[in-house]
Amino acid sequence: MKRFFKMRWIAALLVVVGAACFLSFKSGDSRSFQVAKNLDIFNSIVKELDMFYVDTIDPNKTIREGIDAMLYSLDPYTNYFPEEDQSELEQMLKNSYGGIGSVITWNTKLKRSMIAEPYENMPAANVGLKVGDILMEIDGKDLAGKNNQEVSELLRGQVGTSFKLKVQRPGTEKPLEFDIVRRSIQLPLIPYYTVLDKNIGYINLSSFSGNPSKEFKQAFLDLKKKGITSLVIDLRNNGGGLLDEAVEIANYFLPRGKTLVTTKGKVKQASNSYKTLREPLDLEIPLAVLVNSSSASAAEILAGALQDYDRAVIVGNRTFGKGLVQTTRPLPYGSTMKITTSKYYIPSGRCVQAIDYKHRNEDGSVGRIPDSLTTVFHTAAGREVRDGGGVTPDIVVKQEKLPNILFYLVNDNLIFDYATQYCLKHPTIPAPDKFEITDADYADFKALVKKADFKYDQQTEKILKNLKEMAEFEGYLTEASEEFKALEKKLTHNLERDLDHFSKEIKTMIAVEIIKRYYYQRGSIIEQLKDDDDLKEAEKILTDPVKYKEMLSVPAAVKKGGK
């Protein structure tokens, strides 16, 4: 009997201790409990779906979509990469992959992928693939019905492996076959650098992935040998990459021991400071940095650090505003997660992050932090700069809006098709700096557009239609009918007029498309620099030493005010 009561007492004690532990777990470590609870619920949901859902579910697809949705609710930069997608992650981090070295695009008429841009000195270009080649077969496997993503995966593979590619080239009757050996494809980090007029150096830096600091140093020293007296660094459309590479390049122009970036995260290893560790290459050469709304992440670190230390004049348009840092974490079964671990702060103490992903609107959307909620910081010299919205240039250049018709001409592949026809007739063309689209060339292009029965939406027609409907709804249409008729007559769709009116912009786009067929990315950059408003402003400030110095100093009126 005593043994029975003793066992009951022990059992009761275990229940009490268990309840106490449970209560302690819930109250003392509620976050851990919530995580464990929801993981258990998620696991149960998947099991129930797999057992009872009316159709058989694909666990890889269903769970992957759940993971992607969960991560996207945090920010667009936290991503999951299963084992089969590791090459995509490697390309992102190293700016390289195993493949043929070409951009492919979709031919809407033929419903097949085609070569859009082979990279210079890469397998696609070396074997003779040309822009416009329609991809028919890979090792005898028909590519019909496969989208660009699927074809891209077939073109990529282990470095050193080979395959046979069959293409249909415009202007040839029989398909062509090429034996291609995959190589490690390194995307151009510095596709072009040169000496401009008045001894101004120019370096186009396309990415901070891989090892661009080494190439940048070589380009800069080469330009110095050629006698440059100032330098333009073009970071437009540079989406970023490795933080260390941005620090290394900034160090070429800033003294040793300067703090360039500070990262702050939840865990200790996510918080760090990055300083210039080496002696600089040049502390005196005047610098201008070109940026636009697609300059992001590491590009903003370089531009922002040079601005905060008053070392360069920033020219162009406000940058993207990505002040978040990602690192990779290994996961089971060969998978990886790229996760946002910290925010970064440039020398003035500001963070350039423009979007607050933590505080979303009721519909789940996010918006940029309004300028009214940003904070003023100061550069080393005392100039005012702000956080919360990218890097604002010292010289803001008004962006000319591209005409609506140009979007549709590109989208319908009409400029692409004309360039393909042009190249069939012209085995060679002049150097990019001397090439131009003649009036006769443009007349041929216009004939191609008309023959294609080209149609496009005019925004004025849409807006006028909406206005007319609203006027009718509110009872104004009868009184304003004559005015509406006059407007409709003036805004009548006129293809000939639009092609002539926007000929300058369209000719430039045609020239870029043609030149890159012969001179690759380098050639297209040369063409675009011919009439570049950002570059003009940079040249203007770099050739005016007094104005340059004034721009990087605090105005005398501000100094007197005792700021």
Question: 76-97 pLDDT, tens per residue?
Answer: 999 999 988 887 787 777 767 8
- The lowest-confidence range among 249-258, 266-275, 288-297, 473-482 is 473-482
Q: How far is CA 83 from CA 46, 64, 88, 158, 192, in A?
A: 21, 12, 10, 15, 36
Q: How far is CA 531 from the centre of its chain?
A: 23
- The lowest-confidence range among 253-257, 348-352, 362-366 is 362-366
Which residues, including other chains, have CB under 8 Å from residue 492's CB and lie 6 or more apart? Answer: none
pLDDT over threshold 50, residue 6: no
**Does residue 205 share a domain with residue 305?**
yes
Domain count of the chain?
A: 3
The reply to whether 415 falls in a domain is yes
- The lowest-confidence range among 96-105, 460-469, 532-541 is 460-469
pLDDT band, very low/low/confident/very high, at 561 (cuts 50, 70, 90):
low
Last residue of a domain, one of 396, 416, 442: 396
Q: Cα–Cα distance between 277 and 93 in angstroms, integer?
A: 23
**Does residue 303 share a domain with residue 325?**
yes
pLDDT over threshold 60, residue 5: no
Looking up residue 179, the CATH number of its domain turns out to be 2.30.42.10
**Does residue 119 share a domain with residue 179?**
yes
Per-residue pLDDT averaged across 241-256, rounded?
96
Tokens (6 digits) for 124: 């696609």
- H or E stretch including 385? strand 384-386
Q: Cα–Cα distance between 107 and 102 in angstroms, integer?
A: 16
Which residues, including other chains, have CB under 8 Å from residue 342's CB and lie 6 or more apart? Answer: 263, 264, 265, 266, 270, 271, 324, 325
pLDDT band, very low/low/confident/very high, at 459 (cuts 50, 70, 90):
low
Residue of 344, 122, 145 lying closest to 240 (CA atoms): 344
pLDDT over threshold 50, residue 11: no
pLDDT at 80: 94
Neighbours of 439 (CB within 10 A): 9
Helices (H), 200-272: 212-225, 243-251
Strands (DSSP E) contained in 73-127 are: 79-81, 96-99, 102-107, 112-118
Last residue of a domain, one of 186, 205, 223: 186
| Percent of the chain scoring above 90 in pLDDT | 71
The reply to whether 548 falls in a domain is no
Residues labelled as active-site residues: 297, 308, 322
Tokens (6 digits) for 358: 């933590």
Per-residue pLDDT averaged across 512-535, rounded?
96
Q: Sort strands 230-234 and 287-291 into parallel, antiparallel or unpaired.
A: parallel
**Does residue 492 share a domain with residue 384?**
no
- The lowest-confidence range among 54-68, 280-294, 446-460, 497-511 is 446-460
Last residue of a domain, one of 127, 151, 186: 186
Neighbours of 414 (CB within 10 A): 18
**Does residue 241 share a domain with residue 165?**
no
Provide the domain limits for residue 318: 192-330+339-396
DSSP, res 204: E
**Does residue 531 share a domain with residue 419?**
yes
Q: If you average pLDDT over every residue of the chain, what do you get? A: 89
The reply to whether 127 falls in a domain is yes
**Does residue 254 share a domain with residue 376?**
yes
Q: Which residues pair with 345 in a beta bridge?
A: 262
Q: Cα–Cα distance between 306 and 250 in angstroms, integer?
A: 7
Helix axes 404-411, 503-528, angle to 10 degrees: 70
Neighbours of 255 (CB within 10 A): 12
Which comes out higher in pLDDT, residue 318 or 3?
A: 318
pLDDT band, very low/low/confident/very high, at 489 (cuts 50, 70, 90):
low
CA angle 488, 490, 493 (to 5 degrees): 75
pLDDT over threshold 50, residue 24: no
Determine the length of the chain: 563
pLDDT at 281: 97
* Rg value, the chain, Cα: 30
Positive or negative: CA dihedral 48, 51, 56, 60:
positive
Buried b (16+ CB within 10 A) or exposed e, 446-459: beebeeeebeeebe
Contact status, residue 286 vs residue 514, Cβ threshold 8 Å = no
**Does residue 222 share a domain with residue 345?**
yes
pLDDT band, very low/low/confident/very high, at 432 (cuts 50, 70, 90):
very high
The reply to whether 282 falls in a domain is yes
Q: Is 220 exposed, middle or buried (0-12, 13-18, 19+ CB in 10 A)?
A: buried
**Does residue 277 share a domain with residue 202?**
yes
pLDDT 10s digits, 164-185: 999 999 989 999 999 999 998 8
Per-residue pLDDT averaged across 468-481, rounded?
77
The reply to whether 60 falls in a domain is no
pLDDT at 362: 72
Contact status, residue 380 vs residue 308, Cβ threshold 8 Å = yes
Q: How far is CA 348 from the centre of its chain?
A: 26
pLDDT at 458: 64
Positive or negative: CA dihedral 505, 508, 514, 516:
negative
pLDDT over threshold 50, residue 387: yes
pLDDT at 444: 97
**Does residue 277 share a domain with residue 226?**
yes
The reply to whether 553 falls in a domain is no
Helix axes 404-411, 414-425, angle to 10 degrees: 60
- The lowest-confidence range among 19-33, 280-294, 510-524 is 19-33
Contact status, residue 241 vs residue 205, Cβ threshold 8 Å = no
Phi, psi of 357 (to 5 degrees): -70, -20
The reply to whether 168 falls in a domain is yes
- The lowest-confidence range among 3-17, 49-63, 249-263, 392-406 is 3-17
The reply to whether 522 falls in a domain is yes
Which residues, including other chains, have CB under 8 Å from residue 534's CB and lie 6 or more apart? Answer: 236, 290, 292, 315, 316, 397
- The lowest-confidence range among 13-27, 54-68, 535-549 is 13-27
**Does residue 380 share a domain with residue 263?**
yes
pLDDT band, very low/low/confident/very high, at 8 (cuts 50, 70, 90):
very low
pLDDT at 91: 76
Q: How far is CA 188 from CA 94, 211, 534, in A?
A: 12, 11, 22
pLDDT 10s digits, 107-158: 888 899 999 999 999 999 999 999 999 999 999 999 998 999 899 989 988 8
pLDDT over threshold 90, residue 474: no
Which amino acid is residue 2, in one-letter code? K
Tokens (6 digits) for 423: 């190249």
**Does residue 219 share a domain with residue 312?**
yes
pLDDT at 182: 94
Looking up residue 270, the CATH number of its domain turns out to be 3.90.226.10
